[in-house]
Amino acid sequence: RGKMEDMRRTLASYKKSLGQLVFEKEKWDKQTTNANYFVSTAPGNAVLLAATTCYSGLVAGNVRNELFNQWKQACRRKRPGSVHGESLLQFQERLSLQSILTKPSQISTWISGGLPFNQHTIDSTLTMLLALNGCQHHWPLLIDPDRQAINWIKILENTTPDVTKPLSFDYRSQPNQTSSVRKYRRSISIVRWNDANLRQCLVKAMKNGEIVIVDHIESAVLTPVLRDLLEKRSSFNDVGEVVSVLGDELVDCRSSFAVYLRSTVCLSIVDQRPE
């Protein structure tokens, strides 16, 4: 009888182990299927997201959706010479900037911080962050007729998006009443494009890895300082290191330096499709 009980316990243990193995196999099969799907759709996802970030930044939300659907239809066309009717590029059917570039928890953090809860705003946020951090520091242009951009940038920098680096802030800095350069925190400066302190402000921000918002860019004249900033001119210092050029000065620019170009005028292109 004792041996029978031992055998029953052993058999029960084996059944439990087999059940766990079956569960693990199903889980591994599902993960393998998902991995193969992500690999096969990666090229199409990359093309669609690249097109979205390059061409739809300035257009209105309905135009963005129209363009995105047209690009998906183009990817679904049959590949020339295909025997089984494969499409030119496979992509995830529920593809969006949000599904690839961030997580729902991050979006919830943005919204709780005050970011408007709509797809257009969130997609614009992701496009802006991608320009700053994923495209070798391109400076985004913010169309801001309602003057919400300053708070928007504060929210984003405070909540440390997944696609960018965290930047520290300090509210102890008080607005400077003697200049149009207004300091909200140590790492954010707001300066008009024609302010006499623009060059000095940019040099300081470059050296310290701070943020500069160049304001009222819609009326700007392309000065040498702005040209150097937009063209991101670079050179070599005495020891052969790559440095930024701003006017006649070589500046050791930190990677956390960022520039936002802010316009208070709603440009006419936003309701038109790009040619």
Global pTM reads 0.67
Answer yes or no: are the C-beta atoms of 234 and 244 closer than 8 Å. yes
Residues with Cβ within 8 Å of 162's Cβ and at least 6 positions away in sequence, in order, are 101, 102, 103, 106
Q: How far is the C-alpha of 197 from the C-alpha of 73, rounded, in Å?
A: 50
Burial of 52 (0-12, 13-18, 19+ CB in 10 A): buried
Q: How far is 178 from 142, CA to CA, in rounded Å?
A: 26
Predicted confidence at residue 202, as pLDDT, reads 92
What is the per-residue DSSP string for 186-230? TTEEEEETT-TTHHHHHHHHHHHT-EEEEE-GGG----HHHHHHH
Would you write out the chain's pLDDT as a tens digit for each of its 275 residues?
677 777 778 877 877 777 777 878 888 888 888 888 888 888 888 898 888 888 877 777 788 888 888 888 888 887 777 666 678 888 888 888 888 888 888 888 888 877 778 888 888 888 888 777 654 567 888 888 877 777 778 777 765 443 333 333 232 233 333 344 444 444 788 899 899 899 999 999 988 888 899 998 888 888 888 888 888 888 877 777 778 888 888 888 887 788 889 888 875 555 555 55
In whole angstroms, give the CA distance from residue 158 to residue 213. 16
Cβ-Cβ contacts under 8 Å for 180 (sequence gap 6 or more): 191, 192, 195, 197
Q: How far apart are CA 106 and CA 115, in angstroms?
A: 11
Distance CA 166, CA 272 (A): 35
On the 0-12 / 13-18 / 19+ scale of CB atoms within 10 A, 110 is buried
Query: 């050179």: which residue's tokens?
Result: 235
